[in-house]
Amino acid sequence: MDRIDRAVSDFHSMEEEARGKGWLQDLNPLTKLFCTVFYLVILLSFHKYDLSGVLLMGAYPVLLFTLGRIPVRPMWRRMALILIPICLVGIANPFFDRTPVSAGTPAITGGMVSMVTLLLKGLFAVSAAYLLMVTTTMEDLCRALRKLHVPAVLVTVIMLVHRYLIVFLQAADKLTDAYRLRAPGRKGIHFRQWGSLAGMLLLRSVDRADAVYQSMTLRGFHGEFPSGREKPFTRTDLAFISITVIASIIIRYL
Amino acid sequence: MHMADALVSPAVAGVMYACSAVAAGFSIRGLRGGDLNRSIPLMGVMGAFVFAAQMINFSIPGTGSSGHLCGGMLLSTLLGPYAGFLTMTVILLVQCLLFADGGLMALGCNVWNMGFYGCFIGGFLIWRAFVGKAPTRGRIIAASIVGSVVSLLLGAFSVTLETLASGITELPFAVFIRFMLPIHLVIGLVEGLITAAVLVFIFEARPGLLQGGGPDGGGGRMKAPAVLAILAAATLVTGGLLSHLASSDPDGLEWSVEKVTGSTEVEGGGSVGEWAAGVQDNTALLPDYAFRDSGKGTSFSGIFGALVVLALCFVIGLLLRKPEVKPETEGEGG
């Protein structure tokens, strides 16, 4: 499976999961957004040597994955993408910070501890964002953003990009497949075709944008999509926020 | 160049969110002067196009590797810097949420590093300086290459500053910058060539689409001094605040706690605290292999305890979750 196919497949599986039934999916999107951001702020505020504190913060994704029956496997693929730059930055720490922090042999250095802490922070941060997106549809998230007074222009463009993303990914996939069939054994697009290949896709996009504009105007578009049915704020939301906030503060400061 | 959450501290993330929000607010205000309802579908569809086009691998002759086009620069030349920047912001948000390409907390940094420099510096200032109102094939190629290289280098420089200010890496500034800049110089050159190829194709097929003659016409209205003023202010804010944050002062959360309690750490005390400390002393595992009291905030016992808690969380989660209701198979009961 190539990069575009994988992106299409990931997109569909996340959408399917977010539209599924479950207590996490039923939570108010604002609750999930707030808890994710709060968790991330607390997680990133840990000192680079505070490995045990960061490890304890792993309770949030572990509990949500198990309680919410969220599949973990799709997340690991995403993880590889994000862990590579983190490793590149973190790998230097053991070389530059050789202060021993343990009495045993071989001595464990501050750099080793800070590198592991950094990797764990990356792992848990991606898990938290993944949990948000795998339990919340983009429409619900956009509604939450509007409630937070994020400008309508941005929210509408988010919805449009999300809606057309799959169309263009499939168009790009067809285009590259057709190219591969005509140029067997060639890795990537030859430089002589760089301009025409992406340029044709771009011209089609502009034409499509015009058609989209015409149809949106005919349907009475005035700068913002009408918001659909909202998920209510229930006692479960209150409990979820309280537990997340209190537990995070206890782990961070006590 | 997408930064992950783990590479930024909350304070740096907050500063960069603020800088990106100012640029977004400025862009929205600039867009309101034009036909916003017409710009929105174009921004949405072009955003999806850039997203898809960045997935296409363009092979680099003689290297065996591949690159992709510079989204910020391309969007800015087609939609104008305001709409281009907002579209780039949305692309980065969707990339982070759907594909874990960049972090949610690091979004402000990523928007600044890739969107601001790509759209306002590369796609507007440099494009204007090179192409002006009389585009030619040669000028477009030169503007695309210089614009992409400068945007990428500025972005890489910002990544270095943001990571160092967050106190994430032990790499000295000079080593980090020597590692980042040459790589991004090469990437910038490749991205510039790909972007140039696409823009030259557009110039020859439909020249009216390029900045100034685009559908929103917004590109030509922005005044260069306004961009320079934003850039100067942002440089001052970013440089000043980031260099301050890089010091040994407490981070935002610690600062807040210090204001309330007089110390950056909340002291445990009282009889309950002493009792808990006693329990910890008596039950500590691996006591001879504990970290020295170096204020590094961790210990083997602590790590082991945290791992036990995580395992417990997993077991509790398995025990507490509701039994899965299996859907009835078709044909049953019929």
pLDDT digits (tens, 9 = 90+) for A228-242: 677 888 999 999 999
Judgement on whether residues B198 and B300 belong to the same structural domain of the protein: no
- Nearest alpha-carbon partner for A125 in B268, B228, B85, B3: B3
When pLDDT is cut at 50, 70 and 90, the band that residue A65 belongs to is very high
Residue B253 in this model has a pLDDT that exceeds 70? no
Distance of residue A229 Cα from the nearest chain B Cα, in angstroms: 22
Residue A107 in this model has a pLDDT that exceeds 90? no
pLDDT digits (tens, 9 = 90+) for A183-203: 777 777 777 777 788 888 888
CA-based end-to-end distance of chain A: 47
Judgement on whether residues B224 and B276 belong to the same structural domain of the protein: no
Residue A30 in this model has a pLDDT that exceeds 50? yes
Evaluate whether residue B306 is within a structural domain: yes
When pLDDT is cut at 50, 70 and 90, the band that residue B252 belongs to is very low
Contacts of B40 in chain A (CB under 8 A): 153, 156-157, 160, 223
Distance of residue A251 Cα from the nearest chain B Cα, in angstroms: 10
User: Quick one: how many helices (H) and strands (E) in chain B?
Assistant: 12, 2
When pLDDT is cut at 50, 70 and 90, the band that residue A105 belongs to is low
User: Given CB atoms, is B258 within the 8 Å cutoff of chain A?
Assistant: no
When pLDDT is cut at 50, 70 and 90, the band that residue B235 belongs to is low
The number of C-beta contacts closer than 8 angstroms across A and B is 350
Which tokens go with B54? 């960045």
Evaluate whether residue B328 is within a structural domain: no
Nearest to A133 among B58, B59, B98 (CB): B98
Judgement on whether residues B199 and B288 belong to the same structural domain of the protein: no
For B:132-161, CB contacts with A below 8 A are none
CA A185 – CA B66 distance, rounded (Å): 15
Determine the pLDDT at residue B23. 92
- Nearest alpha-carbon partner for A114 in B90, B188, B103, B168: B168
Determine the pLDDT at residue B321. 67
Residue B220 in this model has a pLDDT that exceeds 50? no
Query: What's the average model confidence in pLDDT over A149-177?
Result: 86
Nearest to B48 among A100, A133, A167 (CB): A167
Judgement on whether residues B309 and B201 belong to the same structural domain of the protein: no
B310 → chain A, closest CA residue: A59
Q: Encode B218-248: b = buried (16+ Cβ within 10 Å), e = exposed.
A: bbeebeeeebeebbeebeeebeebbeebbee
Best A5, A79, A202, A217 member to test B by mutation, with max B CBs in 10 Å, is A202
What residue has token string 């080793």?
Answer: A112
In percent, how much of chain A has pLDDT > 90? 25
Evaluate whether residue B43 is within a structural domain: yes
- State the total domains in chain B: 2
Of A200-209, B159-168, B191-200, give the lowest mean pLDDT range. Answer: A200-209
DSSP annotation of B67 reads E
Query: What's the average model confidence in pLDDT over B182-207?
Result: 87
Decide: helix, strand or coil at residue A19.
Answer: coil
Nearest to B59 among A53, A102, A187 (CB): A187
Judgement on whether residues B227 and B300 belong to the same structural domain of the protein: no
Judgement on whether residues B123 and B172 belong to the same structural domain of the protein: yes
Q: What is the CATH number of the domain that holds B175?
A: 1.10.1760.20
Contacts of B300 in chain A (CB under 8 A): 102
In percent, how much of chain B has pLDDT > 70? 62
CA B245 – CA A39 distance, rounded (Å): 21
Best A40, A175, A186, A194 member to test B by mutation, with max B CBs in 10 Å, is A194
Judgement on whether residues B195 and B302 belong to the same structural domain of the protein: no
Evaluate whether residue B331 is within a structural domain: no
Evaluate whether residue B250 is within a structural domain: no
Evaluate whether residue B34 is within a structural domain: yes
Contacts of B321 in chain A (CB under 8 A): 66-69
ipTM of the complex: 0.86
Evaluate whether residue B326 is within a structural domain: no
Domain of residue B31 covers 5-245
Contacts of A10 in chain B (CB under 8 A): 98-99
Q: Where are the domains of chain A?
A: 3-136+230-253, 147-218
Determine the pLDDT at residue B258. 52
Contacts of A66 in chain B (CB under 8 A): 313-314, 316-318, 321
Determine the pLDDT at residue B261. 47
Cβ-based neighbour number of residue B199 at 10 Å: 29
pLDDT digits (tens, 9 = 90+) for B68-91: 777 888 889 888 899 999 999 999
Best B1, B12, B55 member to test A by mutation, with max A CBs in 10 Å, is B55
Judgement on whether residues B108 and B64 belong to the same structural domain of the protein: yes
Residue B190 in this model has a pLDDT that exceeds 50? yes
A205–B87 CB contact, under 8 Å: no
pLDDT digits (tens, 9 = 90+) for A108-160: 788 888 889 989 998 999 899 999 989 998 889 998 998 899 988 899 899 88
Judgement on whether residues B132 and B238 belong to the same structural domain of the protein: yes
